[in-house]
Amino acid sequence: MKISYANRGMDLESEINDTNHYYLDIDKAVVYKKPTPITISKVNYKENRINEGYFRTPSTTDYNGLYKGYYIDFEAKETVNKTSFPLQNIHPHQIEHLKRVVKHGGIGFLIIRFKTINETYYLDANELIKFIKGNTAKSIPIDYFRANGHIIKDKFQPRVDYLSIVDLYIGVKNEKKI
């Protein structure tokens, strides 16, 4: 039995935060996770303390930022499933948001980790939109990621080097401009 220690004790969100921090440190890109949206109902401003609040459903994705002059925007999710990614993990308005990103000239995508088999995929928003359009399935098969996405290999630093895949899409965008 082979045991992977690569991501031991670290979830995808922490790894992406580390990655973004690294990108910022080496001055490669400016990408942040948005704070969790909450509604604050009781607050003590004197002590800077929130005494009651509620989690809100996010209207956009979790991450956005700037890379090589491009607006980038993505959502990251883990699943314990081995063969497909359940679409219920992505809110419908997050999908609407990614559609808008694509329409207005940004680069949108998903980062999906199948944690049981330790495979992480980049799926461009255009491929996500195509899948949903022609399909009523409630989950995206892993084969769809393999055929239409890109695997993001584990690295020591940065942990989840998604910009190496974004580079491919920037290449395509620039070819279209010519």
| Integer Cα distance of 83 and 165 in angstroms | 23
Which amino acid, one-letter code, is at 75?
Answer: E
C-alpha to C-alpha distance for 78 and 91, rounded to whole angstroms: 14
For its own copies, the binding residues in 94-113 under the rule CB under 8 A are 97, 100-101, 103-106
117 in contact with its own copies (CB under 8 A): no
The Cα 13–Cα 171 span in angstroms is: 27
Q: Which stretch binds its own copies (CB under 8 A): 27-35, 76-84, 129-137, 160-168?
A: 27-35
92 binds its own copies per the rule CB under 8 A: no
Nearer to its own copies, 62 or 144 (CB): 62
Question: Does residue number 155 form part of the binding site for its own copies (CB under 8 A)?
Answer: no
Q: Does 66 bind its own copies (CB under 8 A)?
A: yes
112's torsion region: left (phi>0), alpha (psi -120 to 50) or beta? beta
| Residue 134 sits in the site that holds its own copies (CB under 8 A) | no
